[in-house]
Chain A
Amino acid sequence: MKDLTHFLLVEDDDGHAKIIQRNLEKFRIANHLDRVKDGEDALNYLFRRNGYENKPSPDVILLDLKLPKLDGHEVLAQVRSNPETRDLIVVMLTTSDNERDKAQAYEHNVNSYVVKPVDFEQFQNLVRDTGLYWGIWNKSPIRGDEVE
């Protein structure tokens, strides 16, 4: 049984990616973090194709909403519609606090929808709490092929 906490960060903004990464490291939450920069690569990673064949299934996906090529909603919809990936924990981490975006994300059964705060401390606490809650305290169910 694997015991590492593996995060996949889908984030096009380099600055935001560094902030999230630095905060996760600071609180020693992620044992392993991979980053992709657009929606298309997120699906390549999750469906293990186009150069991502050997990637493991992540424990938590931190998914930005506004992404090049395919946006977060499209990525989430595809993740949820595939039996291989539909149980993955997906946390939408975005600057949009638009009600329509939230509703759409929850329609596709996002696990959490969190708005990136402008305030440094709030952002830091948010990454810590999100990481702890979904990465440590609430592990996704282990699929049959991973038990042994």
Chain B
Amino acid sequence: MRTFSEPLKELESAEEAYRQAFEASPTAQVMVDVDGKIVMINSEAERLFLYERGALAGKSIDTLIPNRYREKHPEYRANFHQDPTARKMGAGRDLHALRSDGSEFPVEIGLTPIQLQGQTYVLSVIIDITERLKTQNDLETLNTALRKKSSEMEQFVYTVSHDLRSPLVTSMSFIGFLKEDIEGRDWDKTHESVLEIEKSIKRMSLLIDDLLQLSRIGHIEIKSCLTDVKTQIMKAIDNAATLIGDRTLDFEIQGDFIPVYVDESKFLQVIDNLVSNAIKYAWKAKDFKITFSCEQFENEICFQIQDNGPGISEEYHKKIFGLFQRLDQSKEGTGVGLTIVSKVMQLHGGRAEIKSRMGEGAAFRLYLPIWRKNSSNPPTGDRA
């Protein structure tokens, strides 16, 4: 036979079981009364908000809400009590919670109304979504980078297919002409056709070599070491000897050069390309001269290679770094050189720019970021 006190004992043990389940929950949980006073809070919630055990009991829930939201909160609470159904808090809004040290963190909150002895309480389950947002953000960044790469790839394939087809068209047409020339015994034209075929095959081979060089740059790891740029400049000038031939080249290295962390061979290639460009485009200038200088800014070091040639009009400044872009078809080259310059500088976390106006020579500027001891390591580059 059940005694009078048995239902009471059952009730007490049910409450104790609920308390234990509430406390043991791995998610932060807070129960508040109709006035927003905290009546129950589990250890996980106290840990999340950086409070000692029991420090929040009896405090207002507003303690856990950043100041800027406190004014509106009683209104939201009243609305909830008018229609107390289980739901997510603040649908469509970014929610933030406040720790005891004043720092904030993004949260997701589930609200459930609970009836106890004729009173309505609200149980809030609070989830810290800092990591989730970070992952989401990382994913979006990665997606954007992927989309960019894919569109670059599309552009690359388009350009390559266009430019490789061009010498093929020439060869095939002149082979056709050659047959006609031989049949008509026109030896002058025969000779001309053979020369055209030879030229376009050479061009095709040059394009393929340059493309290979460009693709290698995208795949080889950057091996940075402390480099004296002056030495690299001297090497580049030596390398240009055949291009210079018996012309007189005056060059000047102005001022001090700050040593930088770069991949020596890649950086030499950049200087090589810029020096040979200057020679190709500017050597007709009166008193042809190339000047090298170095300038330090707050976060960057800039190396400048300046010639006194005809200069490049501003409207073409962006274009010239594009693949197969050439401003003067009478000059040798495939239009890959400056693309390589730009790519190598990007791999070093830097950039290449041009400063020039028609008639005032051209200055190519190579910017490298300054990596301070406390910042992250020199970059190994965002490889394609």
Decide: B172 and A119 in contact? CB cutoff 8 A: yes
Q: Which residues of B contact A14 (CB under 8 A)?
A: 329
In the complex, what residue of chain A is closest to B335 when comparing beta carbons?
A: A68
- Measured between C-beta atoms, what is the minimum distance from B365 to chain A in Å? 22
Question: In the bound complex, how far is the Cα of B18 from the Cα of A69, in angstroms?
Answer: 78
Question: In the bound complex, how far is the Cα of B126 from the Cα of A3, in angstroms?
Answer: 86
Q: Which residues of A contact B174 (CB under 8 A)?
A: 15, 19
In the complex, what residue of chain B is closest to A119 when comparing beta carbons?
A: B172
**Contact for A117 among B158, B163, B169, B324, CB less than 8 A:** B169
Decide: B328 and A95 in contact? CB cutoff 8 A: no
CB 8 Å contact bits of A15-56 with B (1 = contact, 0 = none): 110110010000000000000011000000000000000000
**Contact for B200 among A15, A37, A94, CB less than 8 A:** A15
CB 8 Å contact bits of B325-359 with A (1 = contact, 0 = none): 11111000000000000000000000000000000
In the complex, what residue of chain B is closest to A127 when comparing beta carbons?
A: B173
Decide: B200 and A120 in contact? CB cutoff 8 A: no
The answer to whether A12 has its CB under 8 Å from any CB of chain B is: yes
Q: Size range of the interface on A?
A: 20 to 34
Question: In the bound complex, how far is the Cα of B329 from the Cα of A94, in angstroms?
Answer: 17
Grouping DSSP codes into helix (H, G, I), strand (E, B) and loop, the B interface class, with mixed when no group exceeds half, is helix
Decide: B170 and A124 in contact? CB cutoff 8 A: no
Decide: A124 and B176 in contact? CB cutoff 8 A: yes
Q: Which residues of A contact B168 (CB under 8 A)?
A: 118
13 contacts between A and B (CB under 8 A): A13-B329, A15-B167, A15-B173, A15-B200, A16-B170, A19-B170, A19-B177, A37-B329, A38-B329, A66-B163, A95-B166, A116-B169, A120-B175
Residues of A within 8 A of B (CB): 12-16, 18-19, 22, 37-38, 66, 68-69, 94-96, 98, 116-121, 123-124
Known: A66-B324, A118-B168. 13 other contacts (CB 8 A): A13-B166, A15-B169, A15-B199, A19-B173, A19-B174, A19-B177, A69-B327, A94-B162, A95-B165, A95-B166, A98-B162, A118-B172, A124-B173
